């Protein structure tokens, strides 16, 4: 039995909506290094939120890579791989993460390119 395009779209919408509801609408705005409220931070999200990965994030990233990321980033991972495992980023480079979602790759890229570089997430 084939699945129609509309059925696939509906399933994807429902999956993302379920994740948003599970997170309770705790939305944040972030740029690497500055939270939406303008305060400096390593990455944004609730300050007291421990980094808890979903099975999906844990499939592609080591515990050490995502240990200091807030659950608001790791719990919404919908990725299908870890491109940074092969990217060989260097300090000072500029990275554009298309389809960044929660931003795991953007935050990890920012670490690798350092303060001289830029990591930009576009979802």
Write down the pLDDT at residue 83: 86
Q: How far apart are CA 50 and CA 69, in angstroms?
A: 8
- Contacts by residues 12-21 (CB-CB < 8 Å, ≥ 24 positions apart): 16/78, 19/75, 19/76, 19/78
Q: Regarding beta strands 34-35 and 30-31, do their DSSP bridges make them parallel or antiparallel, or are they unpaired?
A: antiparallel
Q: Which residue has the higher pLDDT, 90 or 98?
A: 90
Q: Is the pLDDT assigned to residue 42 strictly greater than 50?
A: no
pTM listed for this prediction: 0.57
Highest mean pLDDT, choosing among 34-43, 86-95, 99-108: 86-95
Q: Is the pLDDT assigned to residue 92 strictly greater than 90?
A: yes
Q: Is the pLDDT assigned to residue 35 strictly greater than 60?
A: no
């Amino acid at each position: 039995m084939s699945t129609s395009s509309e059925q696939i779209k509906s399933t994807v919408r429902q999956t993302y909506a379920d994740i948003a509801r599970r997170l309770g609408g705790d939305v944040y705005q972030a740029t690497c290094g500055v939270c939406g409220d303008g305060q400096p931070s390593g990455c944004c999200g609730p300050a007291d939120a421990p980094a808890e990965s979903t099975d999906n994030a844990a499939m592609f990233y080591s515990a050490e890579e995502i240990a200091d990321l807030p659950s608001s980033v790791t719990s919404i991972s919908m990725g299908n791989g870890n491109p940074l495992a092969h990217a060989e980023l260097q300090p000072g480079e500029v990275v554009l993460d298309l389809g960044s979602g929660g931003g795991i790759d953007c935050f990890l890229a920012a670490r690798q390119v350092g303060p001289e570089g830029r990591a930009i997430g576009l979802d």
